[in-house]
C-alpha cells in the first residue's frame, strides 16, 4: 500500500499540471478584504496581517517571481435587504463577481495565485474565476465546516456558510435566484470536490454530503486513518482519472483553536500544526496547485497581540508550504562537499 502511494505521488509530480504549465515560477498575491459574508467584522483585515507576518518575503525566499497585486476595493451597498434570510446578497454577489474577474485574469496571465481573505464566501468568486481558465479543476476544501448550506438549509443566512452550494451542478435546482448572483452558473461536479478536517456540519449539509456521495474526511477520519492515508485517498479520488489543476481553499479554522485563535467560527479538536502543514506539502508535491485561498483570519478576535500574530504566522506557514517550503529547510544547492587534504598533501604545499 505504501509503495503504491509512493509511486502514485511520483507519477503525479512527473506529469505536472495541465493548465498553464509555465505558471510554476510566478506567484501572484491578491488581497480580498471583505467581511459581509458573515456577521463578525474584522476579517477584512486578514490580508494585511498575513502580509505583515512576512508572506511576501517568505515567498520570495522560495525563488518565485512574486507579484503582489494589492487588495481589491469592494463596494458596500447602503441598502441591501436580506433575501430568504440571506444577508447582504447583493454586496456579497458583487464582491465575488469582481473577485472572479481578477482571479481569471491572474490565471490567464500565467501566475499561480494566492487569494487572501476575507471571509469564505469569497471562494465563490475565487473558484469560479479559476474555472473560467481551467474548467477541469478539482477542489480541496480544508475547513472545520462544509460551507455547503443552501439558502433554505442555512441556520444563519450568512453566505460564508454557503459558497460550495453555488458551485455544485447537482444543487442547481436547490438554489433560488438570489439578487447579486445572476452572473454565476454552477460549474463543479460533486465528484471533483474533497473536504478535509470537518467537525462542525449542519444537518442540511450532512444530508447533501451523503446524498451526493461527496468525498469528505472528518477529524475522526484523520484520527483513525492518519493524515498520510487521507491525502493518498484524496489524490486517488481527484487525480486518478486525469491530472488537472488543484484549487485549495483553506479556512484557518481547520486548525485547532489553540493554534489559530484569531478566527470567527472556531471549533475544538482541529488539525494539528503537523497535519495542516502535511496537507499543504503534499498538495505542493503534486505539482498541480493552481490557486489557493487562505481565509477567515480575523485580527479583531484575537485575545491579544500574540494570538493574532500566531494565527497570521500559521497562515503564512500554510501558504509557503503549499508553494514549496519544506520542514527540512530551503537550501542553496552545492555540487560537492569539500574533501579534507591529508598531511602529506599539506606538507607538499
Q: Which is more confidently placed, 24 or 158?
A: 158
274 grid coordinates: 503537523
Query: If you write DSSP's letter for every residue of 5-43 in order, what string do you get?
Result: HHHHHHHHHHH--SS-GGGGGEEEEEEE---TTSS-TTG
CA distance 144 to 132: 27
Q: What structural domains does the chain harbor? A: 23-323 (3.40.800.10)
pLDDT in the model for residue 339: 86
Among 109, 69, 105, 75, smallest CA distance to 92 is for 75
pLDDT (tens digit, 9 = 90+) per residue, 146-201? 999 999 999 999 999 999 999 999 999 999 999 999 999 999 999 999 999 999 99
* Helices 123-133 and 89-108: angle between axes, nearest 10 degrees: 30
- Phi and psi, residue 234, nearest 5°: -60, -50
Helix/strand/coil for 84: coil
**This prediction's pTM:** 0.90
CB 152: neighbour CB atoms within 10 A? Answer: 13
pLDDT band at 7 (very low <50, low <70, confident <90, very high): very low
Q: What is the pLDDT of residues 57-96, one digit of tens each?
A: 999 999 899 999 999 999 889 899 999 999 999 999 999 9
Q: Residue 75 annotated as binding?
A: no
Is 52 annotated for ligand binding?
no
Is residue 120 marked as binding?
yes
pLDDT at 11: 42
Could you give the residue numbers annotated as active site?
A: 120, 143, 145, 147, 160, 251, 253, 296
The grid cell for 7 is 509511486
143 is in an annotated binding site: yes
For residues 80 and 154, is the Cβ–Cβ distance under 8 A?
no
Amino acid at each position: 500500500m505504501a509503495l503504491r502511494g509512493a509511486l502514485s505521488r511520483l507519477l503525479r509530480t512527473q506529469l505536472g499540471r495541465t493548465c498553464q504549465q509555465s505558471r510554476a515560477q510566478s506567484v501572484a498575491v491578491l488581497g480580498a478584504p471583505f467581511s459581509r459574508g458573515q456577521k463578525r467584522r474584522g476579517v477584512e483585515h486578514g490580508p494585511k496581517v498575513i502580509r505583515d507576518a512576512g508572506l511576501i518575503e517568505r515567498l520570495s525566499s522560495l525563488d518565485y517571481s512574486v507579484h503582489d497585486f494589492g487588495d481589491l476595493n469592494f463596494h458596500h451597498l447602503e441598502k441591501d435587504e436580506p433575501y430568504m434570510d440571506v444577508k447582504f446578497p447583493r454586496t456579497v454577489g458583487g464582491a465575488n463577481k469582481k473577485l472572479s474577474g481578477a482571479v481569471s485574469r491572474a490565471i490567464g496571465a500565467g501566475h499561480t495565485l494566492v487569494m487572501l481573505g476575507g471571509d469564505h464566501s469569497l471562494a465563490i468568486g475565487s473558484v469560479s474565476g479559476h474555472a473560467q481558465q481551467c474548467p477541469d479543476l478539482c477542489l480541496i476544501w480544508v475547513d472545520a465546516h462544509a460551507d455547503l448550506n443552501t439558502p433554505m438549509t442555512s441556520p444563519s443566512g450568512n453566505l460564508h456558510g454557503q459558497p460550495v452550494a453555488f458551485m455544485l451542478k447537482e444543487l442547481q435546482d436547490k438554489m433560488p435566484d438570489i439578487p447579486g448572483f445572476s452572473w454565476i452558473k454552477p460549474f463543479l461536479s460533486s465528484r471533483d470536490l474533497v473536504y478535509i478536517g470537518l467537525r462542525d456540519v449542519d444537518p442540511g449539509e450532512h444530508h447533501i454530503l451523503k446524498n451526493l456521495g461527496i468525498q469528505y474526511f472528518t477529524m475522526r477520519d484523520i484520527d483513525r486513518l492518519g493524515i498520510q492515508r487521507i491525502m493518498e485517498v484524496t489524490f486517488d479520488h481527484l487525480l486518478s482519472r486525469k491530472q488537472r489543476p488543484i484549487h485549495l481553499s483553506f479556512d484557518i479554522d481547520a486548525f485547532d483553536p489553540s493554534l489559530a485563535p484569531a478566527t470567527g467560527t472556531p471549533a475544538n479538536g482541529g488539525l494539528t500544526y503537523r497535519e495542516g502543514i502535511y496537507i499543504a506539502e503534499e498538495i505542493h508535491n503534486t505539482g498541480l496547485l493552481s490557486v489557493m485561498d487562505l481565509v477567515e483570519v480575523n485580527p479583531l478576535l484575537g485575545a491579544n497581540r500574540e494570538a493574532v500574530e500566531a494565527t497570521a504566522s500559521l497562515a503564512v506557514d500554510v501558504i509557503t508550504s503549499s508553494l514549496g517550503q519544506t520542514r527540512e529547510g530551503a537550501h542553496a544547492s552545492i555540487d560537492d562537499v569539500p574533501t579534507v587534504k591529508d598531511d602529506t598533501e599539506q606538507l607538499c604545499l
